[in-house]
Amino acid sequence: MARPFLGALRADWRAIFARDPAAQNAVEVWLAYPGFHAIVLHRITHPHQPMRIPALPRWLSHVNRFLTGIEIHPAAEIGPGFFIDHGMGVVIGETTQVGSNVTLYQGVTLGGTGKEVGKRHPTIGSNVVIGSGAQVLGPIEVGEGAKIGANSVVTKDVAAGQTVVGIPAKPVPIDAIHYSPGFMPYGTPCGEDVDPIRARLAELEDEIKDLRKELKVLKTARQPQPKVKSA
């Protein structure tokens, strides 16, 4: 048990320095990174859940929330290399499953949509980035390498490698993200218009302009030509 626990913590530790340019040194991370504190406390709490010790796991997760502002249900399964940047307001539900090397930002909810029993929270694949304020709800699957933009609301499956934004979340046009196949802070391409609805409206506007040009040509061609008087 100790070896997987320590291995996961090492991966969590390395993830901070790999994904956060503000992480300057080990002392700073130990003292001032609530996201790291939260995952350490969760990895301590999680093994107690199957023991069915009354109230203890939930109490420990409550202490975790009190100290860090991050609420992780003790039954949630979280893989190694997990990183919560900033962290305040993150909520991770009971039946959530998270793969390896996943990044969350502040205000993210991995939650359910009702009082159904069984699997009712998301399954997050490896190498996923979820931007601040995003709500990922229900027993849906987010594929490996997917990115969820800040403040998006996701209630349907997200394909592997796909980037989604908006309310409800919709896929971003591929040409807007071709330059950034890897880690993308906050899950949102910067410097590009990534709103899929606005992008589609722009396409329709271009089509209307082309149709107007064609219609003008047709009208000109149908106009009667003036008769030339014979000498």
pLDDT score for 193: 54
Q: Note whether residue 227 is domain-resident.
A: no
Q: Whose structure tokens read 């790999």?
A: 18
With respect to residue 72, please indicate whether it lies within any of the assigned structural domains. Answer: yes
Q: What is the domain extent for residue 49?
A: 2-222
Looking at the domain assignment, is residue 229 inside a domain?
no
Question: Are residues 163 and 184 in contact, defined by beta-carbon separation less than 8 angstroms?
Answer: yes
pTM beyond 0.85, yes or no = no
When pLDDT is averaged across residues 210-231 and rounded to a whole number, the result is: 75
Handedness of CA 183, 188, 190, 191 (dihedral sign): positive
Residue 210 forms part of a structural domain: yes
Residue 4: per-residue pLDDT? 76
Note the pLDDT of residue 181.
54
Is 230 contained in some domain?
no
What percentage of the chain carries pLDDT values higher than 70?
Answer: 83
Q: What is the CATH number of the domain that holds 108?
A: 2.160.10.10
Rounded to a whole number of angstroms, the distance between the first and last alpha carbons of the chain is 108
Q: In this structure, is residue 202 part of a structural domain?
A: yes
- The number of distinct structural domains making up the chain is 1
Other C-beta atoms within 10 Å of 17: how many?
14
Domain annotation covers residue 25? yes
pLDDT band at residue 197 under the 50/70/90 scheme: low
